């Protein structure tokens, strides 16, 4: 089992999760985070830290797509280990549907 970041992180990018990760397996895109599924040790400490409920175990239904999504972008985005402020629109975008199609950016974040 591993944990993955899903579409509710898009346009929110809360980073509370990166502070508790013992293996630094979070990677930062311009407007979301991902988890490298091969680096995640399945400890689960990140899941309750996410205010947007965007971190899910890969054992939930329909998570295969998100495992591959997280794998793809964790290989090209920089690692993030420091908490940062969420995106300005985080509160209004939290829980919105269709965020991947509307807002997702392949651009990397700054990392750090």
Length of the chain: 112
User: In terms of Cα–Cα distance, which of 47, 48, 32, 51 is closest to 2?
Assistant: 47
Cα 72 to Cα 80: distance, rounded to the nearest angstrom: 16
DSSP state of 66: H
pTM of the model: 0.96
pLDDT at 13: 98
pLDDT at 41: 97
Cα 1 to Cα 76: distance, rounded to the nearest angstrom: 22
pLDDT at 1: 85
Low-confidence ranges of the chain (pLDDT < 50): none
**Where exactly are the structural domains of the chain?**
3-81
- CATH top class, domain 3-81: alpha beta
Cα 36 to Cα 54: distance, rounded to the nearest angstrom: 15
């Amino acid at each position: 089992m591993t944990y993955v970041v899903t579409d509710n992180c898009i346009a929110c990018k809360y980073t509370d999760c990166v502070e508790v990760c013992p293996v630094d397996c979070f990677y930062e895109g311009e407007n979301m985070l991902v988890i490298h599924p091969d680096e995640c040790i399945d400890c689960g400490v990140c899941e309750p830290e996410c205010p947007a409920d965007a971190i899910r175990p890969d054992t939930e239904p329909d998570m295969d797509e998100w495992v591959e999504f997280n794998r793809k972008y964790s290989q090209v985005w920089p690692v993030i280990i420091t908490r940062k402020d969420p995106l300005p629109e985080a509160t209004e975008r939290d829980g919105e549907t269709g965020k991947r199609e509307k807002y997702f950016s392949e651009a990397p974040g700054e990392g750090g």
